[in-house]
Structure 1
Amino acid sequence: MDIKVLGPGCQKCKTLDTMVREVVAELNLQANIEKIEDIPQIVQYGVMLTPGLVVNGKVKASGKLPSKEELKKILAQEQ
């Protein structure tokens, strides 16, 4: 699974990165997690509001911090 956390480094972006790593560990998933802070790269995904979450090339969240339960559902569906 390929996961990208999009955000320039704000607190919500950092929180999402931490939560994604926790959920991946809890669900024992094999995942490559990358934090992207470069604005032009973020915009290439069509994300205008951060934090953003991209899983396997698809934008799954943008402009809000999903709950841990929402993250679990998103990642479980993509495995």
Structure 2
Amino acid sequence: MEIKVLGTGCAKCKATADLIAQVAAEAGKPVEIVKIEEMRQIVGYGVMTTPAVVVGEKVVHKGAVPSRDQVLVWLQEEA
């Protein structure tokens, strides 16, 4: 499963990627986290506020670090 984290490398963007990796590991779900840091690509997803999360090429979250529960929902929906 591939999850993209969109952001320019700020602390919240790094925290988002770390949280997704941690929750996925705890849930036993293999994920590949792809960090997209180039603004042109981020804007291509229609995102103006970061961090943002893309699952299955759909933007599922933007503007803040997601909650653990949100990450679990994404992992279960893509299973």
TM-score (ref. length: structure 2):
0.91
The ranges of structure 1 where at least 4 consecutive aligned residues each deviate by more than 2 angstroms after the TM superposition are none
For the aligned residues, what is the CA RMSD? 1.0
Structure 2 match to 1:48: 48
2:21, 2:31 within 8 Å by CA — same for their partners in 1?
no
Larger mean CA deviation between 48-57 and 60-69 belongs to 60-69
Gaps in structure 2 of 5+ consecutive residues = none
Gaps in structure 1 of 5+ consecutive residues = none
- What amino acid maps onto 2:5 in structure 1? V
Percent of pairs identical after alignment? 46
Structure 2 match to 1:58: 58
Q: Look up the SS of the partner of 2:40 in the other structure.
A: helix
- What amino acid maps onto 2:60 in structure 1? K
Per-residue deviation, residues 17-60 of structure 1 (Å, max 9, x unmatched): 10011111111112221111111111111111000000111111
Report the count of equivalent residues.
Answer: 79
TM-score (ref. length: structure 1):
0.91
Note if 1:24 corresponds to 2:62: no
